[in-house]
């Protein structure tokens, strides 16, 4: 472990331990806890590692600096801001990009504060979840955002959702910008009401695999008629459940999940993504991030619709 000019902790570490898939080689990790340290880390090519869900890192790691938000960037202030809060709606203090989403969702339920309960079960951190507008059929991150603070190569700025071109699983925030903190916009309710909506979202996950996984592999595609269809259903219909390459497998429980049976490599996962691309005749966009990028695996491919 060494220290950078501004005091960031820097260490070469295997990234597998920081991902929910449990795959990824060694890279240089920067633990930053101030805007000054973050700005220093961003002076050279970098990537930002949040909760490590939704991410497949190559077995060789990455050559760039890998930034992790720590210290105050991993703290949360859920006190309503009196100048912005009313009887029905409140705006919180700052919630750091490095705060784990599951603990935040639980804390909001206890306070009877609603808008983000639809994201229950998503294992990421706040920053990454905002960056990709993570969500389920029951809700997404942009349901509960007031202000978003973003570190850019040109400095730190604050924006509102209205400033961004956000949509399904997409915040409109450029790839090399880092969500450092947010203020939440929430509705006042009761813990019981919020819990009931969490239970509904939880119930929908019952059939999902329990193994190590990055989460859903593909975004649900929109068919030419404008109808959204489950990527899992399409992969299932292609007969691919249970397909195995090395120690990675298309989950028998839900075909849009690739799971690590123990000792899987990134190469195994890439090979399975290729199999899915080849066998499902509908263009689908990858939901995972691949480090380094593999455009041929990530982008929706124009194939003949069956």
Interface with ligand EPU (CB under 6 A), residue from 236, 247, 274, 298? 236
Cα dist. 86→82, 83, 187, 226 in Å? 8, 9, 10, 39
Scan for tokens 């593909």, then name that residue: 218
Question: Can you tell me which of 205, 239, 296, 299 binds ligand EPU, judged by CB under 6 A?
Answer: 205
Q: Is 306 a catalytic residue?
A: no
Q: Which residues pair with 218 in a beta bridge?
A: 286
232 binds ligand EPU (CB under 6 A): yes
Site map (CB under 6 A) of ligand EPU, residues 261-300, x = contact: --------------------------x-------------
Helices (H), the chain: 35-41, 101-110, 126-131, 191-203, 231-237, 266-279, 295-298
Please give the Cα distance from 73 to 30 (Å, whole number). Answer: 13
Tokens standing for 114? 């609603």
**Stretches 24-32, 56-64, 94-102, 216-224: which one binds ligand EPU (CB under 6 A)?**
216-224
What are the tokens at 223? Answer: 């068919």
Residue 216 binds ligand EPU, judged by CB under 6 A:
yes
Is the torsion defined by CA of 169, 174, 175, 178 positive or negative?
negative
Quickly tell me which residue has 């007031």 as its tokens: 146
Site for ligand EPU in 74-103 (CB under 6 A): none
Q: How far apart are the first and last CA of the chain?
A: 54
Selected binder of ligand EPU within 3, 158, 204, 244 (CB under 6 A): 204
Nearest distance, CB of residue 210 and ligand EPU, angstroms: 13
287 classed as catalytic: yes
The answer to whether residue 231 forms part of the interface with ligand EPU (CB under 6 A) is yes
- If binding is defined by CB under 6 A, does position 120 make contact with ligand EPU? no
Say whether 26 is catalytic. no
CB of 197 to ligand EPU, least distance (A): 12
- Based on the shown chain and the rule CB under 6 A, indicate whether residue 128 belongs to the binding site for ligand EPU: no
256 binds ligand EPU (CB under 6 A): yes
Question: In this chain, which of 255, 259, 264, 290 binds ligand EPU, going by CB under 6 A?
Answer: 255
**Helices assigned H by DSSP within 30-99:** 35-41
Q: Does the footprint of ligand EPU cover residue 50 (CB under 6 A)?
A: no
165 in Cβ contact with 87 (< 8 Å): no
Residue reference for tokens 């009196």 = 82
Residues that bind ligand EPU (CB under 6 A): 136-137, 204-205, 215-216, 219-220, 230-233, 236, 254-256, 287
Catalytic machinery residues: 169, 216, 287
């Amino acid at each position: 472990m060494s220290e950078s000019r501004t005091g960031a902790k820097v260490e070469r570490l295997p990234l597998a331990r920081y991902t929910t898939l449990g795959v990824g080689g060694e890279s240089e990790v920067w633990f930053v806890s101030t805007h000054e340290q973050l700005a220093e880390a961003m002076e050279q090519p970098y990537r930002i590692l949040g909760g490590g869900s939704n991410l497949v890192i190559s077995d060789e790691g990455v050559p760039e600096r890998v930034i992790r938000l720590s210290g105050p960037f991993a703290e949360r202030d859920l006190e309503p801001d009196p100048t912005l809060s009313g009887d029905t709606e409140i705006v919180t203090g700052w919630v750091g990009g490095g705060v784990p989403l599951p603990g935040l969702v639980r804390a909001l339920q206890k306070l009877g504060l609603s808008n983000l309960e639809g994201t229950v079960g998503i294992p990421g951190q706040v920053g990454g979840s905002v960056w990709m507008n993570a969500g389920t059929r029951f809700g997404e991150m942009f349901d509960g955002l007031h202000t978003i603070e973003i570190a850019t190569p040109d400095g730190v700025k604050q924006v509102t959702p209205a400033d961004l071109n956000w949509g399904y699983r997409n915040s409109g925030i450029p790839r090399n910008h880092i969500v450092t903190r947010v203020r939440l916009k929430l509705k006042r309710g009761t813990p019981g009401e919020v819990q009931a909506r969490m239970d509904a979202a939880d119930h929908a996950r019952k059939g999902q695999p329990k193994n190590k996984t990055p989460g859903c592999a593909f975004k649900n595609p929109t068919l030419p008629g404008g109808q959204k269809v489950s990527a899992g259903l399409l992969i299932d219909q292609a007969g691919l459940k249970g397909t195995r390459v090395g120690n990675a497998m298309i989950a028998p429980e839900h075909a849009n999940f690739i799971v690590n049976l123990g000792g899987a490599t990134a190469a195994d996962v890439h090979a399975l993504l290729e199999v899915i691309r080849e066998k499902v005749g509908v263009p689908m966009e990858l939901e995972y991030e691949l480090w380094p990028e593999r455009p041929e695996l990530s982008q929706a491919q124009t194939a003949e619709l069956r």
